[in-house]
Chain A
């Protein structure tokens, strides 16, 4: 790959060298590495708490119920890529033999798309090994915190009618139709969908993102989950709305179980887990 001033400013090169000298600021401020080859673009969000409708399918008294809303706490600064992992980032992992080529043929400064949960994990593992730091997919809760005002959760249909399951199916179908979202399949260059209030770019654009949260069937008792069975062969995918996809799916259009608007594209961004030791060293000016 030839030198290209555009993508050296992107996430890939930056992310790969993040451990070498990054300035961090809290909440919405970019962190930029001073490594000549690259500028890291991470956003660090301050800890906080927020109301979050949980992912999965919920049953109450043997019939479907809306997802319970829980107060979730992010108890330490959350460091996440400002942009989705790009096609050229991903290509480096492919060149290293650690990732399978993506289904999308797009290259350069666009999000890597046509990637499965398994591909995203392979990339995170490769990047972690490459940098000696921990890179991982965000949990559904972390993603929602990062997405802030752009978070939509599941398309809801309210309480199921025990006497008439069809009512909820029809409501859900209508609600999905009413969103009126037109298919928008062509990935755009990084930043095309702008940044949200937290300074994170392209959230809920036309690339949905894998999370590390497993799909779950939960049975509610009162307001709490009494029991649940999770299926980690299916993961939560977040974007314009929340959905659930089998780990090996690379094209959201063929992987969705719902009747409504499927994800245009599947991609991802990663969370950077700071090691306390490294942070301490940095504070002492030793890195």
Chain B
């Protein structure tokens, strides 16, 4: 155990040291001093699918928005059979929380790696510029913390993930270490014609592919710690066929009592991230009214989509106004992944049924002879 841990830390530190050399000078600079005069706001993060309170249209000028995330290594159950993942998490959840700022704001994250953890971690923000997305400046050992600030220069939804160097990168990501940032235009979202659009609710769905090793009998193996599973897990990862494809860390995490809720007439923004692998969300019985497939709000949204494509390593956003009550399934429309591997969520939508949109003209009966 101890040997394994030392080996992992060793390889991580080497990779990080190389990166830090090039990135360190970027810390200084005249512009950074201007930031000192900006107003600051502290935001408390909430676990997905929920999102911290935020303004859709920015009030006032740019500010520094402060977030804190604690990294937690802990076993998590990822399906109804009790299969266990030695998870690595940002703030205890898979995915990590969605962080929202506006264009021109500064996102300032304090990342804490408690000494109860066994591995070194960092964070690579796809929204950030330079320094390996911040990865080069944030590598921390158990018992350390670090604060990184980056300027939100481009609008959109962006993935963040752990990237502690070399073979550690994909392993940390498929152990749960990813999340998303949303950078809103200061004047809010706009439709394809530039007309402002708003949402009544927002949900954040992080999709994960997991690669759990099996024993000789074909049963999923359990490991005492993350380090113990590394060799076996990499073998499964190299096959590129996940054993689980799930939303929010577990098959069924967004169903039943935890199904997402909406009302007829409400507009919902669904942010969907996948840090590692392509996916294709589809709302069964609904649509994407306006979809930023690539997640970048400088591009006009696509309209009336049936299914949208989220590239591995990106986050997208879909805006939909529910028109009909009922139970909706939100799936990865590779239906094998949805049904067999776990990528299914539900919406329960209350409201008045519209016969004009749909009705059963005649109930099932024997074929007329």
Contacts and interface: CB of A to CB of B under 8 A. Distances in A.
A229 B365 CA distance: 7
A50 to B, nearest CB: 29
Contact of A166 (B325, B329, B364): B325
A217 B80 contact: no
Interface string A60-98: 001100000000000000000000000000000000000
A63 B81 contact: no
A248 interface: no
A165 B353 contact: yes
Chain A: interface residue count, which band?
20 to 34
B363 interface: yes
Nearest to A228: B366
Contact of A170 (B82, B257, B350): B350
Contacts of B364: 59, 217, 229
Nearest to A178: B257
A254 interface: yes
A253 B363 contact: no
A259 B355 contact: no
A229 B363 CA distance: 13
Interface string A127-166: 0000000000000000000000000000000000001111
Nearest to A61: B363
Interface string B339-369: 1100000101111110100001011111000
Contact of B339 (A169, A219, A254): A254
B327 A169 contact: yes
Nearest to A227: B366
Nearest to B264: A166
Nearest to B329: A259
Contacts of A9: none
Contacts of A1: none
Contacts of B366: 227, 229
Nearest to B352: A164
B340 A183 contact: no
Nearest to A217: B364
Interface string B301-344: 00000000000000000000000111101000000000110000
Contacts of B14: none
B355 A167 contact: no
Chain A facing B: main interface SS: mixed
B340 to A, nearest CB: 6
A62 B363 CA distance: 5
Nearest to A105: B217
Given A164-B353, A185-B81, A254-B339, A180 B325 contact: no
Contacts of A229: 364-366
A217 B367 CA distance: 12
Nearest to A219: B365
Contact of A180 (B218, B255, B257, B355): B257
A177 interface: yes
A259 B217 CA distance: 30
B82 A185 contact: yes
A177 B257 contact: yes
A105 B259 CA distance: 34
A165 B340 CA distance: 28
A260 interface: yes
Interface in A165-215: 165-167, 169-170, 173-174, 176-177, 180, 183, 185-186
Most chain A CB inside 10 Å of its own CB: which residue of B219, B350, B355, B363: B363
B143 interface: no
B326 A169 contact: yes
A170 B325 contact: yes
B217 to A, nearest CB: 5
A253 B251 CA distance: 12
Nearest to A251: B340
A166 B81 contact: no
A173 B348 contact: yes
Nearest to B81: A185
A82 B327 CA distance: 40
Interface string B244-281: 00000000000111010000000000000000000000
Contacts of A63: 363
Given A219-B365, A254-B339, A167 B353 contact: yes
A77 to B, nearest CB: 37
Interface in A204-256: 217, 219, 227, 229, 253-254
Given A164-B352, A173-B327, A229-B364, 19 more contacts: A59-B364, A59-B365, A105-B219, A163-B353, A164-B325, A165-B326, A165-B360, A166-B351, A169-B326, A170-B325, A170-B350, A173-B346, A174-B348, A183-B81, A185-B81, A217-B365, A254-B339, A254-B340, A261-B256
15 contacts: A59-B363, A59-B364, A105-B219, A163-B353, A165-B353, A166-B351, A167-B353, A170-B325, A170-B350, A180-B257, A185-B81, A227-B365, A227-B366, A253-B80, A254-B339
Interface of B: 80-82, 217-219, 255-257, 259, 324-327, 329, 339-340, 346, 348-353, 355, 360, 362-366
* Closest A-B pairs by Cβ, 3 of them: A183-B80, A166-B326, A164-B353
